[in-house]
Structure 1
Amino acid sequence: MRKIEIFDTTLRDGEQSPGVNLTIDEKIEIALQLERLGVTRMEVGFAAASPGEIRAIQEVAKRVKNTTVVSLSRSLEGDIDKSWEALKNAENACVHVFLATSPIHRQHKLQMTKEQVVEQAVAAVTYAKKYFSEIQFSCEDAARTEIDFLSEVVAAVVKAGAKVINLPDTVGYMTPVEYGNIFRQLRERVPGIENVKLSSHCHDDLGMAVANSLAAIEGGATQVECTVNGIGERAGNAALEEVALALDTRKGIYQAKTDIKLDEIARTSKLVSRLTGMFVPGNKAIVGANAFAHESGIHQDGVLKEITTYEIIRPETVGFKSNKLVMGKHSGRHAFKDKLEELGYRLEREQVNEAFVRFKDLCDRKKEVTDDDIVALLDSKILEMPEAFVLESLQLAYGNLSVPTASVRIALANGEMVEEAAVGNGSVDSIYKAIDRVTEEEVTLDDYKIVSVTHGKDALGEVYVRLSQNGISVQGRDVSTDVLEASAKAYIQAINKIIARRRDSSNAVEPLPLTSTMN
């Protein structure tokens, strides 16, 4: 069977989903899980975007040892320099250089001729060889590029030293037949194409990202670029879990396999969903809550008699299992550490100790502690950014015949304690108005969600908020058996992120124009 390499871009293209902004610690957490999942390459960010992005890539590169770490780069010397700054200490590094090739991009975005595009693409790959032994080149909007010109560009960058050629369906326009044929034609037209990897990168604007990715494999691609849960720009990218399971379930058709550890898929999906705030729809293939549920009496009868009547994938294959009461208030630190390792966490001793304290606190508040409880607890609190504001206490007065009132006590970064109170249209509104009085930050609440992550009357509730301020959009989240406490902490976390982003933006370097030459 052919080996299909998985290029995961959850931390770059996935993070470009509106409202998603991961901290460095969150990127590290997802990156380590992607390494456990078995992806071949992970695109961690776009180094030229900001100094903060460089730091995030550097920190991930320090931790990840068995997966190639990738930085995206425009075809500009300055971008490539920054990618090297971010990746020079990585165990395995790759720069992903791109330049648009389609007529619409050449005319309206780049304002470059065909000759200029080829010249800049070759110059970029040649310059990248100064630093990197592994160079991937992407013809942005390849799917809408004339096949003759696409062949010319690919031939030129292959000759210049690119090891991987990516042919993206940047706007999700292609049908599977059309997209697969692009790969077939390039294999026939381009000298030396047999010496490089061909990669697909599909967006889901017409709902065909996974189908197009599989068509690319049939056409000769040996790498698929995708994201966990299919998150990404606009309608998202090809979903990693769907591509992996399609190849595994239909081996006879595709005659191809990946190195993905399928039983890590469910946990990876949950982690990415929690940290990004992008919920997985119940009917989502492979990882949705209903993916292995059967309500119809006919289906239930069939499954009870023979599972394969209505299930082509076993839930255990992708890491789903029933929740059981395996931990409680009498559990010791050693048992707790073993449970963390069983759930896939590899924490330092101090992190285990800190998590154990929170676990004991949860045991006092909740009768049954399941695996999902522990995962939710850890995913919300394993690592945190420096905080300008910390909630110390919260008091509420509420009745259906009285005005909701909230009092908050908040610690500032300098150790000072500030107390404020406010009334509002409801409990959450009064909490947020009181917090605003302390922080003196003018923010807009764009989204607010509460999700039950476990079951029962004492279930953990997870709160997501999305705040914006002067073009900065961030999300905050917290989990608790008290959703009002979680609401306050999620809101404060988001404000802390805005402050950190604002500080980072003030140190950002002005980006180079898209049309700059390599010289």
Structure 2
Amino acid sequence: MSKDKLIIFDTTLRDGEQSPGASMTREEKVRIAKMLEKMRVDVIEAGFAIASVGDFEAVRAVANAVKDSTICSLARAVDTDIDRAAEALKGANSSRIHTFIATSPIHMQYKLKMQPDKVLEQAVRAVKRARNYTDNVEFSLEDGSRSEFDFMCRITEAAIAAGATTINVPDTVGYGEPAEYGAMFRRLMEAVPNSDKAVFSTHCHNDLGLAVANSLSAVMNGVRQIECTINGLGERAGNASLEEVVMAVRTRKDIFPVETGIVSEHIVPTSRLVSSITGFPVQPNKAIVGANAFAHESGIHQDGVLKHRETYEIMRAEDVGWNTNKIVLGKHSGRAAVKARFEALGISFDTQDALNQAFARFKDLADKKHEIFDEDLHALVSSKGSESFEEVYLLVDMEVCSKTGVKPVAELTLQVKGEDVTAKADGSGPVDAAYKAIESVVNSRADLLLYSVNAITQGTDSQGEVTVRLERNGHIVNGIGSDTDIVAASVKAYLHALNILESPKSRSHPQRDGV
């Protein structure tokens, strides 16, 4: 029996970026988009073009770089939003405008301060305007899972009549329950006379840990598009996880009446890239992409797997990209081999000089550790950062003393706007001392929201990757640093974040209305 196509709509670059501290540069968005294209994601939501100049440029860059996936931009049901989205998408081979307006009583009353009839009128106007630019228009009923059913029917029918080809009813606040949410879609599609003229879509948040369950329940009730993100990234508790949705549908072919076109072998490499760029580590017990997802500690489990894999494994690790990244690079590797591996990971360089700098960093790392993994290469690029701004603060030299029973002391020499400045401070630990020494020089007035350490690979010579999240005057930025010396990695991360804050291009976090 033939199965319906389940459209995979990835919103890592838009909703995923709304995770506090997960803002991505234009170059980083393009890198992720190219990996999503390689994975054969159907629709890539590249951003919210009206949010800022940076978001507009990122959407435009992705639209120009990706050829095989449909590129989408979010837009409120407002003329200026839709026009801006259309402008950003001009270079796309295939484009979609995704417009939305809130439809729940609580949103209409307290946020929009609009009557339902006015909301419906604005929705229709927005869809018609978007159709002037593209015949691929998606309309979303924001907070759909808490909307009144009769109004949902009215606005859905009107949006389809106006030209919407996809209708998305999101569980914006993660309030839905699988049986209830799935039944809502079946009832809606049966009640709306022209429902056969559109694809129905789900976009679920994970506030109660039900995003994937709700999405799959919707599929069982006729939905044929799932909006999701890599690693379940997203606002608050995140979105439905792409890898979990895709592998659930593939593994349980016996119950799901759909199939995706996803090349699943690219799931783990893409997960690692997103984690590296955003600074959000993947928890070891995360389904599909966590380090322990295919690990077996129990003797009973080990014995069973050795005798017959399917006793305790319902998927093959190789099918999602595990065990494909072998140790192939070291200090004797040449520039061509390193460049080829970067390209295989979806990492490209605009200029020969950029490649030369990356190769030099590779050689420095190869002198410190014998085995170079793909994760190390991602870290080399991410920790350097792809922002095109002048670095105000550079680490010149560092000496840290940490001895049992003695308060740690750090002495750093920083280059500040071209001049060397030395500072010394003590602290509760070597990292604390180093950060206090930095602040005695820069006086950033920034609040430290997050300090996270993640081992990039295995072994005592592994690089430590440090993520630092700073906030100042509404600007939330991530700094990433990696080194085999964890204190050095910490200092690099802190300076990276400070340099982003000092950049004239630094922008407020894109926390805007959205589905």
TM-score (norm 2): 0.93
Measure, in 1, the Cα distance between the counterparts of 2:116 and 2:196.
Answer: 25
Q: In the alignment, what sits opposite 1:87?
A: 89
Matches of 2:230 and 2:258 in 1, distance apart? 20
Distance 2:475 2:484 in 1: 30
Range with bigger deviation, 301-310 or 132-141: 132-141
Correspondent of 1:483 among 479, 486, 490: 486
The 1:324/1:98 distance shift into structure 2, 3 A limit, reads: closer
* CA apart distance, 1:271: 1.0
Aligned twin of 1:134: 136
Runs of 4+ in 1 over 6 A off after TM superposition: none
For 2:188, what is the secondary structure of its paired residue? helix
User: Conserved in 1, the CA contact under 8 Å of 2:178 and 2:217?
Assistant: yes
1:137 alignment partner AA: F
Q: Which ranges in structure 2 are unaligned for 5 or more consecutive residues?
A: none
| Match in the other structure for 2:371 | 368
Structure 2 vs 1, CA of residues 124 and 371 (structure 1 numbering), >3 Å: closer, same or farther?
closer
Partners of 1:220 and 1:249 lie apart in 2 by: 19
C-alpha deviations, 1:54-108, integer Å up to 9, x for none? 1221222221111111111111111112212222222222111001111111222
Is 1:494 aligned to 2:480, yes or no?
no
Structure-1 separation of matches of 2:504 and 2:183:
43
Mapping 1:185-264, distance limit 5 Å: 185-264=187-266
Measure how far apart 1:32 and its partner are: 1.4
Q: How far has the Cα of 1:312 moved from its partner?
A: 0.4
Q: Does residue 405 of structure 1 match 2:410?
A: yes
**Aligned-partner Cα distance in 1 for 2:440–2:35:** 39
Deviations 1:140-161 (A, max 9, x none): 1111112221011000010011
Cα distance, 1:438–1:87 mapped onto 2, change above 3 Å: farther
Moved more, 29-38 or 164-173: 29-38
Worse-superposed segment, 188-197 or 401-410: 401-410
Structure 1 unmatched runs, 5+ = 515-519
Match of 1:388 among 383, 391, 410: 391
Which segment is superposed worse, 493-502 or 461-470?
A: 493-502
1:162-211 superposed Cα distances (whole Å, 9 cap, x missing partner): 11110101111111111111221222121221121111001111111111
**Counterpart in 1 of 2:9?**
7
Counterpart contact for 1:129–1:135, Cα < 8 Å? yes
Gap change, CA 1:399 and 1:383, over 3 Å in 2 = closer
Distance 1:457 1:83 in 2: 48
Match of 2:318 among 305, 316, 319: 316
1:266-281 superposed matches below 5 A:
266-281=268-283
| More displaced stretch, 298-307 vs 356-365 | 356-365
Q: 1:437: Cα distance to partner?
A: 4.0
Which amino acid counterpart does residue 410 of structure 2 have in structure 1? T
Q: Shift of residue 436 of structure 1? A: 2.8
Q: How far is 1:16 from its partner?
A: 0.9
User: How much does 1:501 deviate?
Assistant: 6.7
Supply the distance in 2 between the matched residues of 1:215 and 1:228 (Cα, whole angstroms).
Answer: 20
Whether the aligned pair in 1 keeps the contact of 2:31 and 2:346 (CA below 8 Å) is no
- Alignment partner, residue 309 of structure 2: 307
Q: Tell me which residue corresponds to 1:145.
A: 147
The amino acid of 2:411's aligned partner reads A
Aligned equivalent of 2:171? 169
**Are residue 355 (structure 1) and residue 358 (structure 2) matched?**
yes
Q: CA deviation at 1:392?
A: 4.1
Aligned partners of 1:25 and 1:385 also within 8 Å: no
CA distance in 2, matches of 1:71, 1:345: 24
Equivalent position SS for 2:254 = helix
Query: Using the alignment, how far apart are the partners of 1:379 and 1:262 within structure 2?
Result: 24
Counting matched residue pairs gives: 507
1:171–1:392 distance in 2 versus 1, CA, 3 Å: closer
- The 8 Å contact of residues 168 and 201 in structure 2, kept in 1 or not, is answered as yes
What's 2:451 paired with?
448
Q: Aligned residue for 1:49?
A: 51
Q: Is the 8 A contact 2:408 2:430 kept in 1?
A: no
TM-aligned CA deviation for residue 129 of structure 1: 2.0
Question: Matches of 2:63 and 2:499 in 1, distance apart?
Answer: 25
Is the alpha carbon distance of 1:205 and 1:402 closer, same or farther for their aligned partners in structure 2, counting shifts above 3 Å?
closer
466-475 or 186-195, larger mean C-alpha shift: 186-195
Partner in structure 2 of residue 298 of structure 1: 300
Contact conserved, 1:396 with 1:427, CA < 8 A, in 2? no
Deviates more, 1:495-504 or 1:48-57: 495-504
The DSSP-based 3-state class of the residue aligned with 1:89 is coil
1:155 equivalent in structure 2: 157
Contact 1:408 1:435 in 2 (8 A): no
For residues 400-479 of structure 1, what are the structure 2 equivalents within 5 Å? 400=403, 401=406, 404-412=409-417, 416-425=418-427, 426-479=429-482
Partner SS, residue 50 of structure 2: helix
Cα distance in 1 between the residues matched to 2:422 and 2:466: 22
Residues 203, 209 of structure 1: 8 Å contact kept: yes
SS in 2 for 1:353: helix
The residue number in structure 1 matching 2:337 is 335
Q: CA deviation at 1:432?
A: 2.2
Q: What amino acid sits opposite 2:473 in the alignment? A: N
Task: Give the residue type in structure 2 aligned to 1:222.
Answer: R
1:69 match: secondary structure: strand
What is the one-letter code of the residue matched to 1:18? P
Q: Say which SS state the counterpart of residue 501 (structure 2) adopts.
A: helix
Structure 2 Cα separation of the partners of residues 33 and 125 of structure 1:
30
Return closer, same or farther for 1:325/1:277 CA change in 2, 3 Å cut-off: closer
On the 8 A contact 2:474/2:508 being kept in 1, the answer is no
Query: In 2, Cα distance between the equivalents of 1:9 and 1:128?
Result: 20
* 3-state SS of 1:281 partner: coil
